[in-house]
Amino acid sequence: MSLFLDNAATSYPKPETVYRAIDAAMREIGVAPGRGGYRQSLTAARTVFETRSTLADFFGVPDSSRLVFTHSATESLNIAVSGLLKPGDHVVTTSMEHNALVRPLHLLRGRGVEVTFVQADREGRVSEREIAAAMRPGTRLVAVTHCSNVSGTIQPVGEIGKVARQGGAVFLVDAAQSAGYLPIDVIELGIDLLAAPGHKGLFGPPGTGILAIGEGIELEPLLVGGTGGNASSLEQPEILPERFESGTLNTPALAGLKAGVDFIRETGLEVIRAKEKLLVGMLLEGLSAMEEAVIYGPRGNDHGGAVSFNLGGRDASEVAFLLDAEYGIAVRAGLHCAPEAHRTLGSYPGGTVRVSPGFFNTEEDIAFFLQSLAGLARS
C-alpha cells in the first residue's frame, strides 16, 4: 500500500461515511432529481436540497438557492468570470493563480477584457495595498486564490475583500486549497463569488464543485439546457439554482459531498486545521534540516497544506518518480497547473516536488517521507 501525500490534488482516503453515502444513493435512490413526481425522484431531489443547505450553512451563504453545483472549481471559475465580464471590463488578479482562473481570463483578454496581474513576493504573498494600487475607477472584478496550490501561501482575503468592496468591484475567491481547511464565511470575508471543489478538503468525490453567488450578482450561464422546470420556455430559467444547473445532477456524488462536510463538522474544522499545521510543520522542519533541499514559499505557521521543494540540482520529476518506485510514496512534481506561481517563486521552468498531507496522514507518515527523501539525497 503506497503512502499518499498528494492531497492538494484530491483528498484520499475519504471518510468511510462518504463511501457509504455514495453507495446508498446509487443503490437506494438511483434516479434523477427533479425529473418526476414519483417517490424515488422526490427522494433524490431531497438529497440534493439537503446537500445544498449543508454547504450553504458551512460557507455562511444566507440563501441556499444561490449556491449552485458544478463539476469542479474550474467550472465554477469559468461561470464566474465568463458570466460576469464584458469587453472593456477590468480585472485585478495575482501572479499566484491556478490555470483554472488564468486560462479563462486569458480567453477573455482576447475578447476585450483587461487583466492586471499583481506580482506576489518571493513567498507568494500579495497585500491588500498592492491590490488597491492596481485597481481603477472602473475595475469590475478582483479575483484571488485563498491559498496557493504550489506554496501553501495564504492570502489575506478578508482585507482584499474590503478593498474590492470600497472600489466597487466584485470579489471572487478561488477556495480550491482552503475549503475544508480554513474557516470561510462569505459575508464576514466580503466574498461575492466563491468557487470550491468538492473532492479536496471537503472530502467529497471527484466531479463535484460549488459556486456561491452573492445577492445582486447577475451572471450569464455557461451551459444551457434542461433543468427540470420551466420546460415550456426556450429561454434558460432566471431563477437560481436552476439557471446554472442544466442537465442531470450527480445525486450520488452530492450525497457523498454532504457526508464529507458532515464529517468536517463532526470532527471540527479547528481539529482538521491543527492536524494540517502539525504535519506541515514537521515537513518544513525536516526539509529545512536537509542541506540539499530548497523550499519555496513561506516557512512560518500560517501555511496551507502544500509544501514545494527541490532536492539540490535534481530534476523534480526524477525525485517524485524515485519516491514512488523505491518507497511507495505518492507526491506530485512539475508546474502544478500554475506556471506564473512558479515564476514568482523562482522555480520555473523545472517546477518543484509538492508534498501535501491530508487529515488521515500521520506523524509516522511524515517521518517516513523525510527518511526516504534523505535516502534519496544520499544516493
- Active-site amino acid positions: 337
Residue type (1 letter), 2: S
Q: CA dist 262 to 50, 217, 251, 347, Å?
A: 11, 29, 16, 38
CA 220/CA 62 separation, integer angstroms: 22
* C-alpha 267 chain-centroid distance: 20
* C-alpha 290 chain-centroid distance: 30
Write down the residue that cell numbers 544520499 correspond to: 378
Residue type (1 letter), 140: R
Asked if the peptide bond before residue 13 counts as cis, ω within 30 degrees of 0, the response is yes
Other CB atoms within a 10 A radius of the CB of residue 346 amount to 10
Burial state string for 235-247 with b = 16 or more CB within 10 A and e = fewer than 16:
ebbeebbbbbbbe
| CB of 249 closer than 8 Å to CB of 31 | no
CA 28/CA 328 separation, integer angstroms: 37
Per the DSSP assignment, residues forming a β-bridge with 70 are 209
DSSP state of 296: E
CA 140/CA 167 separation, integer angstroms: 9
User: For residue 378, what are the contacts with CB-CB under 8 A and spacing of at least 6?
Assistant: none
DSSP state of 147: B
What are φ and ψ of residue 371, in 5° steps? -65, -45
What are φ and ψ of residue 64, in 5° steps? -65, -20
Question: All 3 cell numbers of residue 369?
Answer: 517521507
